[in-house]
Amino acid sequence: MDARAAVDLNLTTWDERAVVHAASPDYGFEVFICDQEHLSDVVSFDRPLLGDIAGQRGIHLQCHLGTDTLSLARLGAHMTGVDFSPNALEQARTLAARADADIDYHQVDVSDGAAVLAAVGAGRYDLVYTGIGALCWLPRITDWAQLVADLLAPGGRLLVRDGHPALNALDQDRTDGELVLSYPWFEREEPTVFDEPGTYVATEHVFTHTRSAEWNHGLGELVTAVLAAGLQVTGLTEHRSIPWQAMAHMVEVAGGEWALPGDAADRVPLSFTLQAVKPA
């Protein structure tokens, strides 16, 4: 399967999931609407590294339903959201309107950097934010890193927290607690195709589109791509938790995060945060 076919396959999958996700209490739309100070667990986790973003121009790549985008707006940033799924953006716009938030959303595929720049403009942003469960849908991490650099204004910065490539390479379907590398660590031209009937929120919906295509990107590949795009890395942290139950034997910890139990928590990182700046 080539990259274009894979992206098209993923679009049908995410379009179907968007409506189901929005209806789930796991995304907490009603909480966001009723409580004007409520933030997503993801942005709450990132907040110490985000610092003060009030007044900054921010863009959230692969924003899905916009709960994190809205949370960044509530921290005072002037936010733009980008996603390739029209159904996801319909839900994101509805949430923003009901929460009385002024967020600019654009339907565009992040793997097509030229289209993103044409839609939102180059060199405009103080913050490029992207996160949990995003990078695995992109065919080439070098293209993504160059897009980030092109979006940032001089002095602007990147913050990305995502699933660790070590987690992505594990067989996550095992129920015996063993940590077994079963999938590629390094980026490959061909994606890995999965066929999974469900999704990561509780639902009784029976999905029609169950196949998806993913690419892993090694941490070294990611850092090298960011450096090659002319950015300066300012921080790289590996975390023992991730905000979904990736494996059956994980345990829930504070802040909506999940971790491996006991001594296993120290065996493999589950997520990472990378920060970088564009030289002024």
- For 60, the enclosing helix (H) or strand (E) is strand 57-61
Range 203-225 average pLDDT: 93
Q: Assign residue 17 a region (left: φ > 0; alpha: ψ between -120 and 50; beta: otherwise).
A: alpha
User: For 24-37, what is each residue's pLDDT tens digit?
Assistant: 888 889 999 999 99
85: tokens are 């799924």
Whole-number pLDDT of residue 201: 75
Instruction: Enumerate the β-bridge partners of residue 238.
Output: 272
Q: Which residues of 180-217 are buried (b: 16+ CB within 10 A; e: fewer)?
A: eeeebbebeeebbeeeeeebebeeeeeeeeeebbbbbb
> Angle at Cα 91 formed by Cα 87 and Cα 95, nearest 5°?
170
pLDDT band of residue 74 (cuts 50, 70, 90) is: very high
DSSP state of 255: G
Dist CA 242 CA 168 (whole Å):
12
Please state, in angstroms and as integers, the Cα–Cα distance from residue 79 to each residue in 120, 129, 138, following that order: 11, 10, 22
Dist CA 125 CA 111 (whole Å):
19
Is the separation of the CB atoms in 268 and 181 below 8 Å?
no
User: For 147-177, what is each residue's pLDDT tens digit?
Assistant: 999 999 999 999 999 999 999 999 999 989 9
Q: What is the CA radius of gyration of the chain?
A: 18
User: For 117-133, what is each residue's pLDDT tens digit?
Assistant: 999 999 999 999 998 99
Please state, in angstroms and as integers, the Cα–Cα distance from residue 48 to each residue in 77, 126, 179, 273, following that order: 15, 17, 30, 12
Residues with Cβ within 8 Å of 47's Cβ and at least 6 positions away in sequence, in order, are 39, 75
- For 148, the enclosing helix (H) or strand (E) is helix 141-151
User: For 226-254, what is each residue's pLDDT tens digit?
Assistant: 999 999 999 999 999 999 999 999 999 99
Helical pair 3-23 and 86-98, crossing angle rounded to 10 deg: 30
Range 40-45 average pLDDT: 96
Q: Is the pLDDT of residue 116 over 90?
A: yes
Dist CA 81 CA 116 (whole Å):
11
